[in-house]
A and B are shown apart, each in its own frame.
Chain A
């Protein structure tokens, strides 16, 4: 820890959170300050700990599925997909093509919804009040699709092991297409509001730089890694659920600062729309898959990771040939990405801490589990 320099003062320790509105939940950050400069941070987590992994050991495979929605609750569909894929790998089964395409559409819609929530709250943290109203308006449309499809808006429990529970409703394709058509001009609108706005640019450019090597050291994934110039996306690197059929790009940027991460996420939303458009046009007919009556995977273990909106989301499940998992371990992207917070804020200003917490895009339900 370097010596303080500001007016010969001693180091000031300041608690930020857990009730601070811009920590996106109940994160407590202990800041060590030298005047306005941040000399170090310490994250205190666990305020939202519900013991999801332990709950998993006491529920059957089927019963545990709704709980995973409650980790990253703004991207519940992605969580459900990861869990279903992991159990399917243990059971050595695969969802039928119709189910796979539907899963892709819903997870990409969820990525859009998650990024919209991020954009709104991140802008709000920095002081741009307007975008949050617009992003929530568009997110509402996504949530309506979820509600029509599976009956819940946030904790969807949309997929089941082995396929889907619900058949697509009438008018699903039209509603998704209408959303895509409506949404792209709206992204332009957000960019008009923010991308060139001088306050936005000044607050974000060069703030919270995390270069590619540091990202790899910390194990940071997702848009934070891609903004540092590493073109790593599990949808391309290890395609799952039929992602190899779709034509899309991995948006990357070079500087690894907060502004680049904003740009990467904006472009990711456009790419998601591109994937959704391709997928909606070719939903195959056929069965949607049936959950096995008794789920009793053979002794063994499986790790499946998917590209959740926030980064690599992995599920490691150990089976001891009973109806309940022996151990469930989740690799949540937010938790791992949060480790890089200290590196990003050190040496910066207090006001930037808020911007940097926002840019990592954490959800505390997932950090604490």
Chain B
């Protein structure tokens, strides 16, 4: 009998509707208004790469050891270097990073012995051309330049 009444008055359906109704409370809004409101990504976020420079003298930290290029599963990093006869060390000449093939696994970052290569918190990586996704040394050293939108 009870079951019959419950089915007549659609108790099960109203129970579900009540859940939906409870969730109308504006404090449950989760949507981020993306370009206007930038999401705050985690500190460890693996996003756009950056080649760190020494803040004091503007020289690159990279010692051109090529370890990142060897660590990368996709072999997308190409490190160009030149032997400096005075210091008897290798100097970095070029550094290209093909973002279009990168899967942001972080292995290159882990491999770098001097923390020169770092995956940063920038996540806006779209480019208009395929070539635009291949970053050279200059772009990597400048670091992310996120677009700010005004609303």
CB of A349 closer than 8 Å to a CB of B: no
Taking a contact as CB atoms under 8 Å apart, the answer to whether A157 and B71 are in contact is no
Residues of B within 8 A of A165 (CB): 106, 110
With an 8 A cutoff between CB atoms, is B35 at the interface? no
Determine, out of B11-19, B48-56, B57-65, the stretch whose residues face the partner at the interface: B11-19
Asked whether A192 and B106 contact (CB < 8 A) given A148-B44, A169-B44, A198-B7, the answer is no
Q: Quick one: given A63-B107, A166-B44, are A197 and B16 in contact (CB under 8 Å)?
A: yes
In contact, A67 and B106 (Cβ under 8 angstroms):
no
Q: Kindly identify, within residues 157 to 206 of chain A, every residue whose CB is under 8 Å from any CB belonging to chain B.
A: 157, 165-166, 169, 189, 192-194, 196-198
B41 within 8 A of A: yes
Let me know if B151 is at the binding interface, CB within 8 A. no
Check A232 for interface membership: any CB of B closer than 8 A.
no
Contact B12 A197 (CB under 8 A): yes
* Interface residue B1 (Cβ < 8 Å from any Cβ of A): no
Residues of B contacting A169 in the complex (Cβ-Cβ under 8 angstroms):
43-44
**Interface band, chain A:** 20 to 34
**CB-defined contacts of A248 to chain B, threshold 8 Å:** none
Q: Which residue of A lies closest to B103 (CB)?
A: A66
The minimal Cβ–Cβ distance linking A79 to chain B, given in whole angstroms, is 13
Interchain CA distance A198-B15 in the complex, whole Å: 11
The reply on B135 being an interface residue by CB < 8 A is: no
Measured CA separation A276–B71 after assembly (Å)? 34
CA distance A149 to B42 in the complex (A): 8
Residue numbers in B under 8 Å from A66 (CB-CB):
73, 103, 105, 107
A26-62 vs B, Cβ < 8 Å mask (1 yes, 0 no): 0000000000000000000000000000000001001
Which residues of A pack against B, CB within 8 Å? 59, 62-67, 70, 130, 134, 137, 140, 144, 147-152, 155, 157, 165-166, 169, 189, 192-194, 196-198
Provide 30 A-B residue pairs closer than 8 Å at the C-beta atoms, listed in order of the A residue: A62-B71, A62-B107, A63-B71, A63-B72, A63-B107, A66-B73, A66-B105, A66-B107, A67-B73, A130-B20, A134-B23, A140-B30, A147-B44, A150-B44, A151-B44, A151-B45, A151-B46, A151-B119, A157-B106, A165-B106, A166-B44, A169-B43, A169-B44, A189-B19, A192-B16, A194-B16, A197-B12, A197-B13, A197-B16, A198-B12
Interface residues of B (CB under 8 A from A): 7, 12-13, 15-16, 18-20, 23, 28, 30, 41-46, 71-73, 103-107, 110, 119
